[in-house]
Amino acid sequence: METPNLDPPPREALSPNGTAETDHAEQPAAARQLVGRLDATEATIGVVGLGYVGLPLAAEYATQGFETRGVDLDEDRVDRLNAGDNYIEDLDDDAIDGLVETGRLRATAHYEKGDEVDVWFLCVPTPVTATNEPDPSYIEAATRAIAPHLRPGQLVVLKSTTYPGTTEDVVAPILKEEGPDDLTLGEDVFLAFSPERIDPGNDEYTTANTPVVAGGMTEACTEVARRAIGQIIADVHTVSGPKAAEMEKLLENIFRSVNIALANELAQFCERVDGLSMWEVVDAAATKPFGFMPFYPGPGVGGHCIPIDPHYLSKVAKTHDFETSFITLSAQVNEEMPRHVVDAVIETIAREPVRLQDAAVLVLGVAFKGNVSDTRRSPADEIIRLLREKGVGQIRYHDPHVEHYEVPGAGDDDRTEVPSVELTPEVLRRHEATVIVTDHDAVDPGLVAEHAPAIVDTRNALSGINDPALREKITLLGAG
């Protein structure tokens, strides 16, 4: 079999800020054809992975009138979506149902008729292994699935957060080896990276109004990606190539990881100084109108990106004989915060007239951040695991956004369900210690402060409680 030619042609000069300057008439014929279909709202959009990133993206394209097909291996998720059942909190139930009803949005667990898709977006997970090694297997599998369906006039955009070089060194070779023989990258088919910028629970910035970055394998790839993404997002900033776009996404998240780690380390120092509160210090520093951005301590970091991205960067750095010491240390500080919280809970229980094995602990909030249901890599996982390891007798949780919650067990695939309880005065009084892991607005701080015998507050959720008698019951993370 003749080796397919998916090697990109030489890159043309870019403008000083990295944006493509090629005139539309100079674009390859396949690019002009695809852009024409996009501008006429005739293009078919394919979204692989219908989770927190993929479904909002698919919904935006369908809203703008594009026929949109979602692919997800979870057949239960596919069935729910095809029935008009929305499962993403940030999306409107009626809007999703309406898009499905019109036929513009549909889902499948298969890739049949993939050649009918004009633009593929890959929105698949990028986890790490048990040893914190990057796991690109989902990207590889998705790429292999679409490769046989490639044809002239198609664009592939990877959106999954990953390390610099993934698009060029993982995705492009698979398309080259497993795609049709006679396609040239940048002439017939186009490949780019454009990282997601989803912030669960953010009502102000959504998929539609959050600026995004895009970088293609060639100038033509970048321009086609800009035009495709520009159908639903007004502000698309282009960069010199996929590596810059991949690194940009890591910078966004590592910036947060490093600054949260700084707040967490200073919080532990403040706990040793009588009368000093990190929360008061940060609020005071935040009055400076320039040169400072407030970051607050907490029980650890969660979600898909922030706990993982430092490890992705560390891995690729080692291949270039570079050690990301500062970034790695910051990640370690954040990863140790659940243990610090558990130590505070154990000390709190020690002041109560009960043995540890007879004690009951109530975990308030198991989502990784306030007012969302997303539990991916939540600090609550490690906090509950450590409490069990310490021998705490009973652990229950309350979270108004999470109906069922499981934590990792002894085996790789072992999950153990944590009992959920209603938040009532009686329930609070039955637990020797209550630990606030997530600050949901729906939880009444007054109810917790009045009825819980002892509280470990990792989010300063009870800052409005001023009664000295109630404050005596509260151990605040970051306060001496």
Mind telling me the catalytic residues? 305
SS3 label, residue 163: coil
Buried b (16+ CB within 10 A) or exposed e, 222-246: bbbbbbbbebbbeebbbbbbbbebb
Dihedral angle at the C-alpha atoms of 220, 221, 224, 225, nearest 10 degrees?
Answer: -150
Gyration radius from the chain CA atoms: 25
Q: Using DSSP bridges, classify how beta strands 415-417 and 433-436 pair: parallel, antiparallel or unpaired.
A: unpaired
DSSP string covering 105-158 = EEEESS-TTGGG-SEEEE-----B-TTS-B--HHHHHHHHHHGGG--TTEEEEE
Question: How many of the other CB atoms lie within 10 Å of CB of 398?
Answer: 21
Amino acid at 86: N
SS3 label, residue 215: strand
- What is the rounded distance in angstroms from the CA atom of residue 80 to the CA atom of residue 83? 5
With a CB cutoff of 8 Å and minimum separation 6, the contacts of 244 are 18, 215
